[in-house]
Amino acid sequence: MKSIILKSATVLIASALLATDAFAQPSQKLSDPEIASVAVVANQTDIEYAMIAKKKTNNAEVIKFAETMAKDHQSVIDQAVALVTKLGVTPKDNAVSKSLQAGGIKTKKLLNSKTGAAFDKAYIDNEVAYHKAVISTVENVLIKDASNKELKELLLSVVPILKTHLEHAEMVQKMIAGK
Amino acid sequence: MKRAILNSIFSNWLLLCSLLISGCSSPEEKSTAKIYLIEISQMKFNPAVLTVQKGDTVLFINHDFVIHNITEKSAAKWSSPQLANGKSWRMVVTQTADYYCTIHQVMNGRIQVH
């Protein structure tokens, strides 16, 4: 049963990364070291998308958005690393973080295959879907499963940042569509 | 203990003096510019809309762990430096302005001169 739920959570995250399916809420209980790993991988993945965008786009709004993603997600990683160091927790790989990494590889391949306006659209569409998926995972899985109070508080403080990113991505998405 | 009592007496004396001074102030002194606080927290300016008098000061403080700035929206007539967590910036208000954070462009606020 446990593995079925975990597998479905993994598939759902991977689906959302590819900007296709709606994101349902898994109920697999993750440990704090596993949550730390998911948090770091999720943020690192979006930094990597931003790095590709900064290399490939000429669109000023897309560049600004990508710069914000790189800065903010690095700040979240810094906070997470400081906390796990303080708590003496070592992030532990798990099916969800592995799935995020696998989804990230596929998405980066897709982004690298595109140029010009097609790239801008693919990048921003993915950012919208990715942030929706991550917000849902943080709110419905990571916060609920976190045992440590400080870890839970850090996750709670990340939600408004992710929601602002989503709103920003949707704004850029509309600008691109209007061109 | 003795030191604590002395400190308490001194504090009360200061408070009494300030009350007496404010009670005796002229109408001109009462219109002295004020300082208002806008807190940046959970990716929002709070309060998002603030009404002040011309010449009042607004102090912004960033409680988020991500960096923010405060920039006039129509033509970047004024802008703060980048504010890391715990950093603040103040400005004297001369006219009504809509402002935003250029890093997080969906974060907006308004200072209204009454």
Considering only alpha carbons, which residue of chain A is nearest residue B103? A68
**B20-43: pLDDT as tens digits:** 333 333 444 456 899 999 999 999
Rounded Cα gap, residues A100 and A3, in angstroms: 17
Instruction: Name the residue of chain B whose CA is nearest to A165's CA.
Output: B104
Q: Check: CB of residue B110 under 8 Å from CB of residue B36.
A: no
- Nearest Cα of chain A lies from the Cα of B43 at a distance, in angstroms, of 6
- Confidence class for position B11, pLDDT limits 50, 70, 90: very low
Closest residue by Cα to residue B48 from B106, B114, B90? B106
B7 pLDDT exceeds 60? Answer: no
Residue A1 pLDDT grade (very low, low, confident, very high; cuts 50, 70, 90): very low
Sheet hosting strand B44-46, strand order edge to edge: B44-46, B35-41, B57-62, B88-92
Q: What is the pLDDT of residue B32?
A: 87
pLDDT single digits (tens) A17-63: 443 333 334 456 999 999 999 999 999 999 999 999 999 999 999 99
Distance from CA of A73 to the nearest CA of B (A): 9
Q: Does residue B42 belong to the interface with chain A, where contact is any CB pair within 8 Å?
A: yes
| Eight-state DSSP code of residue A140 | I
Task: Determine the average pLDDT of the residues in B73-84.
Answer: 97
Residue A115 is encoded by which pair of tokens? 């140029």
- Cβ neighbour number for residue B37 with a 10 Å cutoff: 14
> From the list B43, B65, B105, which residue is nearest A79 (CB)?
B65
- pTM of the complete model: 0.82
Q: Is B83 on the interface with A (CB under 8 A)?
A: no
